[in-house]
């Protein structure tokens, strides 16, 4: 166990100080070798302040072989402190520091710094990996130009890459060769990258709108180039879109992407040399689903967009991480929305936010979009910084409108180009360019927690007599609808006191047919600058409680029904006066597709929670909801991509978040019973849908065909619950067997593995395993399907699969597919009452911590919401957390997560 004095110290945003020295230029030389790589660095240091000493350069796991200052050799042993940093007691205002270090890439299992992935040398420097390569002020506000020479064995490393332009290539003695790369743009160390290995290349070009021809090179493991076309197309689309929508052009003559098998996160935006988890590059119809392809497009776009929002303008310090991440996520969301169904993209993003960010904000790891403190920065690449950060940008966009938002972008990028900036700089630019007041809005950056907005409404007659908010009541001429909105944010683990936020709420008032009515807003807190739809209003809820009076242009036969928070305009939890009848109406009639989906989800949530509370959930199925669902299914005019998301019931994890104490078994039983009831009641409609929606052959990956497959597979998933129905089971088997693409095959495999009878299940799983032997990324799907199975033996299966030849604890994709899917996507089995799931996860976290602490810490996050469960489960989870915390030599990454989780229990 860690002693108090060994506890890793927290770093505070308030303690930020500008650097005392900067590095104007760095020359690096790499002599690559798996066991002993020699890194020579020459730093041109320049003093920025008067009192600069002693100067500490970051370093970690480096063996310093030589050290010299302006040509004078110094004793390495005298200049490295206990923490591994290089200490210089005195320096002239300008100096050239030269170091020679030894590192061991093949021993680097943490996948940060320089490491080997399937024999390929590659780097991951964000956030603090560069210090594992050489001594350097490893902070994002030190921007240098890089001149990099790479020497390696020509046979095993024919490809040598780094940032910028290749200025020299030569053969060397002893079968080695070299390449020299220069990056003209000053950049922080976290954007440095190097790749060397045996790789195949897919090449293409893009001509920017000002006529610059850019070489696009996509590098993959040998034999995989045919699977890189989807990513290449996405890259070109991203480059064109950033010009068209944001007016932003690429700035070098070359753009490289490398895909590697072992990678901690999705991908990394290193200047002109993006490095990707192979999972976000490699795709073809036989091995990737439509969803995978959409994800790939989004990640390729995201990393490309970082060239402006991240690289040209970077972050001053890591507390500002959302400056680049929230903004870039917003940009990639808009990219996908502009190319596919905007509504469905929004619905998916709302689902992710609710599944990942809301729980984070309500648990022990709660933090603001711009955190105030951290122990390990790698733990802050969170749903809050990314997804809630993107929501904050989206709200600014909603308040300003597209034109003024883009003016703000131009001001921000123009003003801070080449600089390390802050979230405040961004908001100030948006404010200045638009003339909009964002003073109170800034609190979204500093306040954690999800605001709750409560909405109530009633009709007031012309004479002033206030009527109750009864549903069918008329709204006479001269009357108005009074809407009261209030907000409060519950205290969070990190912040007790909360203040009101500036919350933009889009809304429409709907008549009895679901049409928005024209109405005047009488006491506008703030008028809408841009109305995105006729009859829509934009309110800004700034106080704890506000009243808004709407006077319809014409008398209404029925009191209008407000459709609130259209397009999910604010990331809040909405409590409104809707009843089952309102939601049944809105789920088919609301013209705002996001709210149409929302009404269906809200209705289902209410029904499922009622069922879960019943003695026997299966006996408590709500027939009216089953009927309403049938209305959805019979609407053949519905956009298939929308229908596909509308046909999915809220996940068990989301339902659990709505309960004071999670009823693990009740929720599971209720949801399964409802799915079965829907399938039974609408069997023939679903069969008809399955027959009708078969896309034309040949297979195309485009959005139209993908939408048909998605809806058809949603029908299949429901039908799959009818385990005893021989005709349906034959259909599922045929769907599996006849699939000519991974989307359909995986959909059928999931149905069989989750609900199929033993023989069919085993047959399909064995066939899939055999068919994709050696295809690691496809077998990840096979692992995940089994880990998520709602079956009593799920944990036993997961334990058995740990020994499967396709599984490797050292590869993050495998860990997420098996251990992550079980702990985070199988609520029913992970939270099994016997604690087996908890003991299993604790065991794996402890093993992982010595191997890859970033992945271990992420897995440990699955215990985060332990206090929301019943007493016996709490005790089991607390014991599991304590056993991790007490492990000798625990990393500070895992320690921070586990300790914060335990602290809230005190």
Catalytic residue positions, numbered: 303
Residue 268 CB, nearest distance to ligand TRP (Å)? 4
Whole-number Å distance between alpha carbons of 605 and 599 = 10
Q: Are strands 21-31 and 144-153 parallel, antiparallel or unpaired?
A: parallel
CA-CA distances (angstroms) from residue 651 to 356, 667, 678, 823? 12, 10, 16, 14
Smallest gap from residue 765 Cβ to Zn ion (A): 36
Task: Work out what residue 268 binds among Zn ion, ligand TRP, none; the CB cut-off runs from 5 to 8 Å by kind.
Answer: ligand TRP
Separation CA 418–CA 410 (nearest Å): 14
Please compute Rg for the chain using Cα positions: 28
Q: Does 268 participate in binding ligand TRP (rule CB under 6 A)?
A: yes
Q: What's the CA gap between 664 and 672, in Å, rounded?
A: 13
Report how many residues bind Zn ion under the rule CB under 5 A. 2
Q: Residue 814 Cβ, how far from Zn ion at the closest point, in Å?
A: 23
Q: Which of the choices ligand TRP, Zn ion, none does residue 150 contact, using the CB cut-off of 5 to 8 A by kind? A: none
Residue 265 binds ligand TRP, judged by CB under 6 A: yes
* Cα 726 from Cα 736, distance rounded (Å): 15
Place of tokens 């090179």: 217
Task: Write the interaction track for Zn ion spanning residues 314-353; mark x where CB under 5 A is met and - where it is not.
Answer: -----------x--x-------------------------
> Residue 581 in contact with residue 622, Cβ under 8 Å?
no
| Contact in structure between 687 and 619 (CB atoms under 8 Å) | no
Q: Quick one: which of 141, 290, 297, 325 contacts ligand TRP (CB under 6 A)? A: 325
Q: Which residues pair with 549 in a beta bridge?
A: 482
CB of 596 to ligand TRP, least distance (A): 32
Q: Which two tokens stand for residue 547?
A: 């009243």
Distances (CA, A) of 783 to 51, 753, 777: 57, 11, 10
Name which of 322 and 595 has its Cβ closer to ligand TRP: 322
Report d(CA 254, CA 51) in Å as an integer: 42
Joined tokens for residue 733: 């088997």
Instruction: Report angle CA 745, 749, 821 to the nearest 5 degrees.
Output: 115
What is the pattern of x (binds ligand TRP, CB under 6 A) and - over residues 293-312? ---------xx---------
Give the DSSP letter string of 686-736: HHHHHHHTPPPSSP--SHHHHHHHHHHHHHHHHHTT-TT-HHHHHHHHHHH
Q: How far is the CB of 160 from ligand TRP (least distance, A)?
A: 22
- Give CA angle at 278 (277, 280), nearest 5°: 75
Stretch that binds ligand TRP, among 149-157, 260-268, 330-338, 864-872 (CB under 6 A): 260-268
Interaction pattern, residues 86-125, with ligand TRP; x per rule: CB under 6 A: --------------------------------------x-
Q: How far is the CB of 301 from ligand TRP (least distance, A)?
A: 11
List the single partner that 378 binds among Zn ion, ligand TRP, none, CB under 5 to 8 Å by kind.
ligand TRP
141 vs 159: CA distance, rounded Å = 31
| Cβ-based neighbours of 521, under 8 Å, separated by 6 or more | 527, 537, 539, 548, 549, 550
652 binds, among Zn ion, ligand TRP, none (CB under 5 to 8 A by kind): none
Position 789 contacts ligand TRP (CB under 6 A): no
What span, in angstroms and rounded, lies between the C-alpha atoms of 164 and 356? 36
- At its nearest, how many Å lie between ligand TRP and the CB of residue 111? 8
The binder of 126, among Zn ion, ligand TRP, none, by C-beta within 5 to 8 A per type, is ligand TRP
Q: For residue 194, what are its two tokens?
A: 């190097």
Which residues in the 376-405 window bind ligand TRP by CB under 6 A?
378, 381
- Contact call for residue 269 and ligand TRP (CB under 6 A): yes
Among 41, 62, 115, 126, binds ligand TRP (CB under 6 A): 126
For 568-586, b/e burial (b = at least 16 CB within 10 A) is bbbbbbbebebeeebbbbb
Give the span between the Cα atoms of 678 and 216, in whole angstroms: 49
Q: Cβ closer to Zn ion: 297 or 325?
A: 325
Binding-site size for ligand TRP (CB under 6 A) equals 13
Task: Map the footprint of ligand TRP across residues 7-36, applying CB under 6 A.
Answer: none
Which of residues 326 and 562 has its CB atom nearest to ligand TRP in the complex? 326
The distance of closest approach from Cβ of residue 438 to ligand TRP in the complex, given in angstroms and rounded to an integer, is 25
Q: Give me the least distance between CB of 299 and Zn ion, in Å please.
A: 9
Member of 267, 282, 390, 787 binding ligand TRP (CB under 6 A): 267
381, interface contact from ligand TRP, Zn ion, none, CB < 5-8 Å by kind: ligand TRP
Residue 438 interacts with ligand TRP (CB under 6 A)?
Answer: no
Q: Does 262 contact ligand TRP by CB under 6 A?
A: no
Residues that bind ligand TRP (CB under 6 A): 124, 126-127, 264-265, 267-269, 302-303, 325, 378, 381
Residues that bind Zn ion (CB under 5 A): 325, 328
């Amino acid at each position: 166990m860690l002693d108090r004095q060994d506890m890793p110290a927290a770093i505070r945003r308030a303690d930020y100080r500008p650097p005392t020295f900067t590095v104007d230029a760095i020359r690096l030389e790499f002599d690559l070798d798996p066991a002993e790589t020699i890194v020579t660095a020459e730093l041109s240091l320049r003093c920025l302040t008067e009192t600069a000493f002693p100067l500490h350069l970051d370093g970690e796991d480096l063996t310093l072989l030589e050290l010299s200052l302006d040509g004078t050799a110094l004793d390495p042993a005298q200049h490295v402190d206990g923490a591994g940093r290089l200490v210089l007691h005195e320096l002239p205002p300008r100096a050239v520091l030269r170091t020679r270090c030894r590192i061991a890439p093949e021993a680097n299992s943490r996948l940060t710094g320089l490491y080997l992935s399937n024999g390929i040398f590659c780097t991951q420097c964000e956030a603090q990996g560069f210090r594992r390569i050489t001594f350097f002020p490893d902070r994002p506000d030190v921007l240098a130009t890089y001149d990099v020479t790479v020497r390696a064995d020509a046979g095993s490393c024919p490809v040598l890459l780094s940032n910028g332009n290749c200025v020299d290539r030569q053969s060397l003695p002893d079968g080695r060769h070299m390449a020299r790369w220069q990056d003209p743009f000053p950049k922080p160390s976290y954007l440095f990258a190097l790749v060397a290995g045996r790789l195949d290349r897919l090449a293409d070009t893009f001509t920017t709108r000002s006529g610059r021809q850019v070489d696009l090179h996509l590098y993959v493991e040998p034999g995989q180039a045919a699977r890189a076309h989807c990513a290449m197309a996405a890259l070109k689309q991203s480059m064109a879109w950033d010009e068209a929508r944001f007016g932003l052009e690429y700035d070098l003559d070359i753009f490289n992407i490398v895909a590697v098998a072992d990678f901690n996160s999705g991908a990394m935006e290193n200047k002109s040399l993006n490095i990707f988890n192979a999972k976000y590059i490699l795709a073809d119809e036989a091995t990737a689903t439509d969803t995978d392809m959409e994800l790939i497009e989004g990640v390729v776009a995201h990393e490309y967009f970082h060239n402006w929002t991240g690289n040209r303008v970077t972050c001053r310090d890591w507390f500002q991480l959302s400056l680049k991440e929230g903004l870039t996520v917003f940009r990639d969301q808009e990219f996908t929305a502009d190319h596919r169904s905007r509504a469905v993209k929004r619905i998916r993003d709302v689902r992710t936010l609710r599944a990942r960010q809301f729980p984070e904000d309500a648990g022990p790891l709660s933090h603001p979009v711009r955190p105030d403190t951290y122990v390990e920065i790698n733990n802050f690449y969170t749903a809050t910084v990314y997804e809630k950060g993107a929501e904050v940008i989206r709200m600014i966009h909603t308040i300003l409108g597209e034109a003024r938002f883009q003016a703000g972008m131009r001001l921000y990028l123009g003003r801070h180009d080449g600089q390390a900036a802050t979230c405040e700089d961004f908001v100030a630019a948006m404010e200045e360019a638009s003339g909009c007041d964002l003073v109170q809005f800034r609190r979204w950056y500093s306040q954690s927690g999800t605001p709750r907005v409560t909405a109530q409404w009633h009709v007031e007659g012309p004479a002033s007599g206030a009527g109750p908010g009864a549903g069918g009541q008329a709204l006479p001429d001269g009357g108005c609808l009074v809407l009261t909105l209030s907000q409060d944010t519950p205290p969070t683990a990190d912040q007790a006191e909360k203040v009101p936020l500036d919350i933009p709420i889009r809304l429409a008032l709907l008549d009895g047919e679901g049409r928005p009515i024209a109405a005047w807003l009488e006491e506008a807190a703030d008028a809408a600058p841009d109305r995105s739809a006729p009859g829509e209003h934009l309110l800004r809820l700034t106080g704890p409680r506000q009243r808004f009076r709407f006077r319809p242009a014409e008398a209404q036969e029925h009191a209008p029904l407000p459709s609130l928070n259209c397009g999910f305009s604010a990331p809040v939890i909405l409590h409104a006066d809707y009843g089952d009848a309102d939601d049944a109406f809105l789920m088919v009639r609301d013209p705002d597709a996001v709210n149409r989906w929302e009404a269906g989800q809200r209705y289902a949530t209410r029904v499922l929670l009622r069922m879960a509370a019943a003695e026997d959930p299966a006996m408590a199925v709500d027939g009216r909801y089953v009927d309403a669902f049938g209305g959805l299914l019979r609407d053949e005019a519905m956009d298939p991509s929308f229908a596909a998301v509308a046909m999915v019931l809220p996940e068990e994890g989301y339902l659990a978040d709505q309960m004071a104490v999670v009823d693990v078994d009740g929720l599971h039983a209720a949801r399964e019973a409802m799915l079965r009831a829907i399938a039974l009641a609408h069997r023939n409609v679903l069969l008809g849908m399955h027959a009708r929606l078969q896309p034309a052959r040949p297979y195309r990956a485009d959005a139209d065909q993908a939408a048909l497959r998605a809806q058809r597979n949603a029908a299949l998933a429901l039908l799959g619950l009818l385990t005893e129905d021989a005709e349906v089971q034959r259909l599922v088997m045929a769907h599996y067997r006849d699939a000519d693409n991974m989307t359909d095959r995986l959909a059928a495999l999931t149905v069989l593995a989750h609900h199929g009878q033993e023989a069919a299940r085993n047959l399909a799983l064995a066939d899939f395993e055999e068919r994709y032997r050696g295809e690691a990324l496809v077998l990840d799907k096979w692992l995940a399907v089994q880990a998520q199975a709602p079956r009593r033996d799920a944990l036993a299966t997961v334990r058995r699969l740990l020994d499967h030849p396709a599984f490797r604890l050292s590869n993050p994709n495998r860990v997420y597919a098996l251990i992550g899917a079980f702990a985070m996507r199988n609520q029913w089995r992970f939270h099994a009452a016997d604690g087996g799931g908890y003991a299993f996860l604790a065991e794996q976290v402890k093993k992982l911590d010595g191997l890859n602490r970033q992945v271990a810490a992420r897995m440990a996050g699955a215990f985060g919401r332990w206090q929301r469960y019943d007493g016996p489960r709490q005790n089991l989870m607390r014991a599991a957390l304590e056993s991790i915390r007490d492990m000798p030599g625990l990393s500070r990454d895992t320690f921070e997560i586990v300790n914060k989780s335990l602290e809230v229990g005190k």
